[in-house]
Amino acid sequence: MRLLRSPIRDYAWGSRSVIAELQGRPAPSDGPEAELWLGAHPGAPSLVELADGTPSLVDVIAAAPGHWLGSAVVSRFGPQLPYLMKVLAADAPLSLQAHPDLDQARAGYAAQAVAGAGHRNYADGNHKPELLVALTPFEALCGFQRPDLSADVLAGFGIAALDPVIASLRAGVDGLREAVRLLLCWPPAERSGLVAAVAAAELPERFAAEQALARRLAGHYPGDPGVLVALLLNHVRLEPGEAVWMPAGNLHAYLRGAGVEIMAASDNVLRGGLTPKHVDVAELLRVLRFEVLDEVALPPVPVSPGVVTWPVPVPDFVIHRVTVDGESPRVTLPVDGPRVVLCTAGQVAVTDGSGAVDPDGRPAPGPAEVVTVPPGRAAIGAAAGGALTFTGAGTAYVASVGVR
């Protein structure tokens, strides 16, 4: 196991306190700190603390992929870490977005290569399923709610121009695609007036939460039709330890809070509003799944004393939460493939039974090493290591893979 030095992304919606306080630095920070990236994504890879320097995790894995990833991972995903873990800290709403499935990503990426110059929807040929586990109370928009409920909300604004959208929603799931298309294709010259009218309208009292959401989003994104699209989605409030699973084609947005996020290693994002960035309506409509998402919040599932997980139906990643304390002073977790251990509270010591590594990250002779991971830091272990053993007093999130 080796400690990582991981980059922080400074997106404008980020918190100035969450990541700084997690790492024990002065808060507020000088600027927004939105995401702490823990992995080998080429956009912002972690550095590995070795005896003679801190090379990029990308280079360390490239030097010995069989050791770090294991033959099963290399065979399935190639010589790269198949997942990316993050600490996400949102003080303002993120964009509405969805991610393609694997076939859509491969086809879209290949089509871009043929088309050449122009806007590029696809950064790579991979899918990007995501799971977020709340560290604090967390708000998100996740998946379409029942269309009749959305129709009632939009009708409550009393805006005649929305009647075609409402009629599409009254048609049920079959009308969702057209409702979304109408909103995202709203004439640009009329968007500001529509969103302003929605923010100023007085909804019936039973829609107080929806009215508050519309006004908050309109304050951040005036003139953005995504404010209306957001009202078609489930408004989810998570307690710490609850999670949301966002498979391919699921329209979603984070609104506020902090969590640990894990995803397949991809940058493929198709935006659907609440953003000044490009929205490719046609491609978004092709990727979206127009279905009602009933079960949104996922509770933790116990695995063993001190260990819980949130099962997901993809092989790219698995995440566990490990808690060591006076009642469970020593916890063992068998995992497959490369593993990243993030400490989010207290301090944990972890070993996988392996010894030291040489300057290239390969195993070197010597006794098993124990790595102490402070809060807000992470360590990586190779697939060649054994089960993880935790001691200390703290909480850790462990990313690994679902293939053997």
Please list the active-site residues: 271
State the virtual CA torsion across 248, 250, 254, 258 in degrees, nearest 10: -50
Handedness of CA 256, 261, 264, 265 (dihedral sign): positive
The residue written with tokens 């294991």 in the block is: 70
At a CB cut-off of 8 Å and minimum separation 6, what does 53 contact? 359
Query: How many CB atoms sit inside 10 A of residue 205's CB?
Result: 7
> 114 to each of 101, 108, 110, 266, how far by Cα in Å?
20, 10, 7, 20
SS3 of the chain? CEEEECCEECCCCEECCHHHHHCCCCCCCCCCECEEEECCCCCCCCEECECCECCEHHHHHHHCHHHHHCHHHHHHHCCCCCEEEEEEEECCCCCEEECCCHHHHHHHHHHHHHHCCCCCCCCCCCCCCEEEEECCCEEEEEEECCHHHHHHHHHHCCCHHHHHHHHHHHCHHHHHHHHHHHHHCCCHHHHHHHHHHHHHCCCCHHHHHHHHHHHHHHHHCCCCCHHHHHCCEEEEEECCCCEEEECCCCCEEEEEEEEEEEEECCCCCEEEECCCCCCCHHHHHHHCCCCECCCCEECCEEEECCEEECCCCCCCCEEEEEEECCCCCEEEECCCCCEEEEEEEEEEEEECCCCCECCCCCECCCCCCCEEECCCCEEEECCCCCCEEEEEEEEEEEEECCCC
Is the Cα dihedral 154, 160, 166, 170 positive or negative? positive
Contact 50, 359 (CB under 8 A): yes
